[in-house]
Each structure stands twice: as structure tokens, then as C-alpha cells.
């Protein structure tokens, strides 16, 4: 091997502040990074894959869901992760973008709320001791999906709040 770049990285073992599952869409990456910092998550185990939460909620195949669950399991085992943030985002190409909802942002948000709940329930079922937090990333910020939104019968946007 031949060294082509010098950079001193911290070599000490660490405890992850959270595992973060989100889409690789570059348009949201900065918002996610800044949001994590605001949440005091300095050492995240990033699980960045096309679709983010979709890989758990509506996987393309069984392999995809199992693979992502295994990644979360590894973060818990190797880095003592106690918290999982699961995210999806507006205009995500894996859902056919906003166009799939005919430009209706409320319909899109409602669909993602259902998806995020399903992903969160799967994570909680697999890892009962872990705190699971679903978020919807829009182009104006990060929206928390409240756990009681469905039960209270409120609309998608009433049941969410910007973080």
C-alpha cells in the first residue's frame, strides 16, 4: 500500500450517540448533519442507504430489510447504541418523488408518516430496549413524527412538529 492522504483520526473506541438510518440523497445530507449536531449526537453510526426508512417499512425484498436490521444490531453490539433515528424525506426518488403524490405535500407527508411508524414499530419489535425516533426530512427542516398522532386521529401535519 502507498499513503496518498494524511489525516489524524481519533483512534479510541467509542460509544455511539445514535444509529441513524437515512437516505443517501445529497439534498438532505446537510440538514441531517446539522440536525444531529443540534441533538448533541456527535458520534453517530450512519446507515446511509437509498430510501432510508423505506428499507424497513417497504423493502424491495427480504434481503434489504434483514441487512438493515443487521446493521442496527451491529451498531448496538459494537458501539453500545441506545438510540436509533429513522428517517425518510420529501421528494425521495425511491418513492417516485413528490410527483408520485401529484405534488400534494400533505398526501406525501401522510404516506411517510405511515411508513415511518411501520419502520419504527419493526425496530422496536426487534430491539425492545432501544429508543426509536422517526423523522421526516423536508426541504424546510426536520419534522418529528409523534407516536400518538395516529391514535389521536389528527391529520398528518397536526401530528408533526418541526424540530
Report the residue number, 92 or 119, with the smaller CB distance to Zn ion.
Answer: 92
**List of E strands, 90-150:** 131-138, 141-145
Report the residue number, 97 or 147, with the smaller CB distance to Zn ion.
Answer: 97
Q: Does the protein bind Zn ion through residue 119 (CB under 5 A)?
A: no
Q: Does the protein bind Zn ion through residue 68 (CB under 5 A)?
A: no
With H, G, I as helix, E, B as strand and everything else as coil, classify residue 30: helix
What is the sign, positive or negative, of the torsion defined by CA atoms of 74, 114, 35, 82?
negative
Report the residue number, 26 or 77, with the smaller CB distance to Zn ion.
Answer: 26
Q: Does the protein bind Zn ion through residue 23 (CB under 5 A)?
A: yes
Task: Provide Rg for the chain, Cα atoms.
Answer: 16
- Neighbouring CB atoms inside 10 A of 133's CB total 19
Q: Does the protein bind Zn ion through residue 86 (CB under 5 A)?
A: no
Question: How many residues at the interface with Zn ion, by CB under 5 A?
Answer: 3
5 vs 79: CA distance, rounded Å: 27
Q: Does the protein bind Zn ion through residue 25 (CB under 5 A)?
A: yes
Judged by CB under 5 A, the stretch of 10-18, 90-98, 120-128, 139-147 that binds Zn ion is 90-98
56 vs 61: CA distance, rounded Å: 10
H or E segment and range at residue 35: helix 26-38
The least distance separating Zn ion from the CB of residue 154, rounded to whole angstroms, comes to 26
Q: Does the protein bind Zn ion through residue 92 (CB under 5 A)?
A: yes
Residues that bind Zn ion (CB under 5 A): 23, 25, 92
Amino acid at each position: 500500500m502507498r499513503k496518498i492522504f494524511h489525516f489524524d483520526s481519533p483512534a479510541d473506541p467509542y460509544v455511539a450517540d445514535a444509529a441513524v438510518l437515512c437516505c443517501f440523497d445529497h439534498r438532505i445530507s446537510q440538514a441531517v448533519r446539522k440536525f444531529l449536531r443540534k441533538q448533541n449526537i456527535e458520534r453517530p453510526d450512519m446507515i446511509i442507504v437509498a430510501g432510508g426508512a423505506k428499507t424497513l417499512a417497504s423493502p424491495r425484498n427480504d434481503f434489504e430489510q434483514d441487512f438493515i436490521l443487521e446493521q442496527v444490531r451491529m451498531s448496538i453490539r459494537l458501539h453500545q447504541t441506545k438510540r436509533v433515528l429513522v428517517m425518510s424525506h420529501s421528494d425521495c426518488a425511491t418513492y417516485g418523488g413528490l410527483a408520485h403524490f401529484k405534488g400534494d405535500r400533505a398526501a406525501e407527508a401522510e404516506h411517510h408518516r405511515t411508513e415511518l411508524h411501520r419502520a419504527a414499530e419493526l425496530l422496536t419489535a426487534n430491539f425492545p430496549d432501544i429508543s426509536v425516533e422517526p423523522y421526516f426530512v423536508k426541504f424546510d427542516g426536520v419534522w418529528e413524527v409523534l407516536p400518538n398522532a395516529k391514535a389521536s386521529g389528527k391529520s398528518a401535519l397536526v401530528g408533526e412538529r418541526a424540530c
